Amino acid sequence: MAIMLHLSPETNTNIFAHDPYEFIRFLNYLESNFERIYLLGDIYDTLMSNKIGGDIDIFYKIIENNKEITNIFLKPNYYHISGNHDLITSDIFNAPEQEILDIDGIKILLTHGHQYGAFTNNLKFVGEFWTWLGGKLLKYGLDDIWQFIYDIDLKSCFRFNKSCPFQKWAIKELINKDAEIIITGHTHTGAVINHGNKLFMNSGTCIDGKYSYLSLDTKLQDFRLNTAW
């Protein structure tokens, strides 16, 4: 099971927008129905700071503001993948940018997906700059500019068909890693799409008070996108 969030320390950049107690009920539901829960990157918005590349002080402020939720994330049945907004967690939680699972003979590649982007050209520092810039725009109330840039990035890299460049990148990753299923986030666009004998999945994101997550039953080979619980 995979989900993606955006916890931020500041009200005007907090696109998480869930009531914390209701979201904890959601997490309790997931724990009751799934053996493992994968946090698929962008859990903490540590790049929305004064420092390009992430700010550990911002991370601890987020933890302080979301103690109950983050304590749940430290349980042994939760696993972290780092995204472009929370690259700092790769050091703090030893969270990889990619991980391969072998469950019931099915190889699954987990990755946030920020390695591909319309504006980044796979260059880490460029991606970090764009994320930092987006945080600044939100912080200073320039939401319309942020949304304009975000829409260009999303429309240029994600489509619900086989010509989608983000999916093409994902399938190449699958082939290179000799896996069958790839689970991504990053685009905030939930999807389950077959590519021949390969399966592309995107968790969407649990922001703006909405729910979006993937459920995987490898024994029954049942792989679903869920938008309610």
- Per-residue pLDDT at 81 exceeds 90: yes
What are the tokens at 224? Answer: 């679903």
Q: How many domains does the chain have?
A: 1
- Per-residue pLDDT at 13 exceeds 60: no
In the chain, pLDDT over 90 holds for what percent of residues? 48
Tell me the chain's radius of gyration from C-alpha atoms: 17
Gap between the Cα atoms of 8 and 16, Å rounded: 7
Decide if 99 contacts 110 (C-beta within 8 A).
yes
Q: In this predicted model, what pLDDT tens digit does every residue of 59-80 receive, in sequence order?
A: 888 888 899 999 999 999 999 9
Q: Give the residue, 141 or 119, on which the prediction is more confident.
A: 141
Q: In this predicted model, what pLDDT tens digit does every residue of 202-213 receive, in sequence order?
A: 999 998 889 999
What is the pLDDT at residue 103? 95
What is the pLDDT at residue 88? 81
Q: What is the mean pLDDT of the chain?
A: 85
Point out the least confidently predicted range of 82-96, 147-161, 174-188, 213-227: 147-161
DSSP codes of every residue in the chain: -EE---B-SSGGG------HHHHHHHHHHHHHH-S-EEEES-SB-TTSSSSTT--HHHHHHHHHHTHHHHHHHTSTTEEEE--SS-TTHHHHS---SEEEEEETTEEEEEE--TTS-TTTTT-HHHHHHHHHHHHHHHHTT-HHHHHHHHHHHHHHH--SSTT-HHHHHHHHHHHHHT-SEEEE-SS---EEEEETTEEEEE-----TT---EEEEETTTTEEEEES--
121 band by pLDDT with thresholds 50, 70 and 90:
low
What's the farthest any 2 CA atoms get from each other in the chain? 49
123 band by pLDDT with thresholds 50, 70 and 90:
low
CATH of the domain at 75: 3.60.21.10
Q: In this predicted model, what pLDDT tens digit does every residue of 49-61 receive, in sequence order?
A: 666 656 788 888 8
Q: Domain range holding 136?
A: 2-226
Q: How far is CA 145 from CA 133, 134, 138, in A?
A: 11, 9, 9
**Mean pLDDT of all residues in 140-160:** 75
